[in-house]
Copies of this chain bind each other. A is one copy, B any other.
Amino acid sequence: MKNRILLLCTLLCVFLFKEAGAAPELKYVDGTTLTQINKVHPTTKPYSRLEVAKYPDLSKTVRKYYSHSTGVALVFRTDSRTLAARWTTVGNKASTHYSALAQQGMDLYIKQDGKWVFAGIARPQHGDTHAATIVKNMPEGMKECLLYLPLFDEVKSLEIGIDDNAHIEAAENPFRHKIVVIGSSITHGVGAGRPGMAYPAQLERGTGFEFVNLGASGQCKMEQFFAHVAADCETDAFLFDSFSNPSAQMINERLEAFVKTIREAHPDTPLIFLQTEVRESRNFDEKIRKFEDDKRAASEAGMKKLLKTDRNIYFINPGMPLGDDHEATVDGVHPSDLGYARMLEEIQPKIVKILKKYDIR
Q: Footprint of B on A, CB under 8 Å?
A: 94-101, 105, 110, 112, 117-121, 123-126, 135-139, 143, 191, 193-194, 197, 202, 280-281, 283-288, 326-332, 336-341
Contact = CB atoms under 8 A, between A and B. Distances in A.
A194 B138 contact: no
B123 A97 contact: yes
B337 A118 contact: no
A287 B99 contact: no
Nearest to A124: B96
B337 A126 contact: no
A187 B116 CA distance: 29
Contact of A118 (B95, B97, B327): B327
Nearest to A83: B284
Contact of A123 (B96, B124, B125): B96
Q: How many copies are assembled?
A: 2
A340 B328 CA distance: 11
B123 A284 contact: no
A135 B284 contact: yes
A100 B340 CA distance: 21
* Nearest 6 interchain pairs by C-beta: A336-B337, A137-B287, A193-B330, A337-B338, A96-B100, A338-B338
A68 to B, nearest CB: 18
Given A97-B101, A338-B341, 10 more contacts: A94-B94, A94-B126, A96-B100, A96-B123, A119-B284, A120-B281, A139-B286, A193-B330, A330-B337, A338-B340
Contacts of A283: 110, 112, 117-119
A350 B192 CA distance: 29
A186 to B, nearest CB: 14
Given A121-B332, A331-B121, A338-B341, A138 B97 contact: no
Nearest to A340: B338
A138 B193 contact: no
Nearest to A116: B326
A284 B330 contact: no
A327 B332 CA distance: 22
A330 B191 contact: no
Nearest to A108: B284
A340 B326 CA distance: 15
A288 B96 contact: no
A338 B123 CA distance: 20
A331 B197 CA distance: 11
Contacts of A100: 94-97
Contact of A99 (B105, B123, B330): B330
14 contacts: A94-B126, A117-B283, A118-B280, A118-B326, A118-B329, A135-B285, A136-B287, A137-B286, A138-B286, A193-B331, A197-B327, A327-B337, A336-B338, A338-B341
